[in-house]
Amino acid sequence: MTMYPLPDASTDLSQHRILVTNDDGIHSEGIQILEEAARRMSDDVWVVAPEFEQSGAGHSLTLSEPLRFRQFGDNHYAVRGTPTDCVVVAVSQVMTDKRPTLLLSGVNRGSNLGEDVTYSGTVAAAMEGTLLGIPSIAFSQVFAPPADGEMIIDWAAAREAVEPMTRWLMSFTWDADALMNVNFPDRRMGEIAGVDVTVQGRRDLSDILLEERTDTRGQPYYWIGYRRGLDEPKAETDLRAVRHRAISVTPLHLDLTHFETRRAMIESLEA
């Protein structure tokens, strides 16, 4: 694990048109933090976000119901749909004179680490931005009991670090197929050990559980929950970085092809 100090990049983003979205909903605390950070970087900031919480929506589109959105205030639009819908609405209906040149998604309430990324609406919004040719960054704030037991729920690190992380990530060019997944550890700013450039990890155990309950009419209903076990996460992973108090940034890409398996299949056919 290589920990770097929080980069101090002064990249000028004032000419950028920034689209801010999320999956927790337009009224969530995390998107306000992200919008404030965006406004410190540019005057051209637009918020197009779900009217209601869409956590776990993944990269889904609303196809079987009408898609509605409404404006409230300057440059704020609430969409009755998924995070992916929001990006599509923003680009095709809201920012029609000029497309966004940077997409920021989050700050999510909770981690998007390891296998979370394909469930995540926060990351999916960044995937959609990438598909549309817009550099896109997903931000998440880890809220989980750390190994030493003390539970800290604090947005302070996200509040301070979104801007320097964005300026640094925008200081170099990354592949058009890539998006950035940033997770802030559940620590206060002074306790953060640095920045680690990571790979997508995987938990030892990640079962989705259905907890059955009974409503007032005696009918069963269910809440989805997780059972997640994890010993020391593998080296270089996002899971390990945040465990060790680092801000994790993982460059992800949209191509899901498993190249080694493809090679084995071709070899099998050629044999």
Beta bridge partners, 4, equal: 195
Report the C-alpha gap between 127 and 254 in whole angstroms: 7
What is the closest distance, in whole angstroms, from the C-beta atom of residue 105 to Mn ion in the complex? Answer: 10
What is the closest distance, in whole angstroms, from the C-beta atom of residue 27 to Mn ion in the complex? Answer: 13
Amino acid at 58: G
Q: Give whichever of 108 and 130 is closer to Mn ion, judged by the CB atom.
A: 108
Q: Give whichever of 95 and 125 is closer to Mn ion, judged by the CB atom.
A: 125
Among 21, 105, 108, 112, binds Mn ion (CB under 5 A): 108
Q: Where are the beta strands (DSSP E) in the chain?
A: 18-21, 45-50, 68-71, 76-80, 102-109, 136-141, 178-184, 194-197, 205-214, 220-229, 246-253
Q: Candidates 105-113, 158-166, 174-182, 248-256 — which segment interacts with Mn ion by CB under 5 A?
A: 105-113
Q: Give whichever of 24 and 35 is closer to Mn ion, judged by the CB atom.
A: 24
Burial of 9 per CB tally in 10 Å (0-12, 13-18, 19+): middle
What is the closest distance, in whole angstroms, from the C-beta atom of residue 52 to Mn ion in the complex? Answer: 12
Report the C-alpha gap between 8 and 15 in whole angstroms: 19
Among 17, 23, 85, 117, binds Mn ion (CB under 5 A): 23
Q: Would you count residue 141 as binding Mn ion (CB under 5 A)?
A: no
Q: Would you count residue 55 as binding Mn ion (CB under 5 A)?
A: yes
> Residue numbers of the site for Mn ion (CB under 5 A)?
23-24, 55, 108
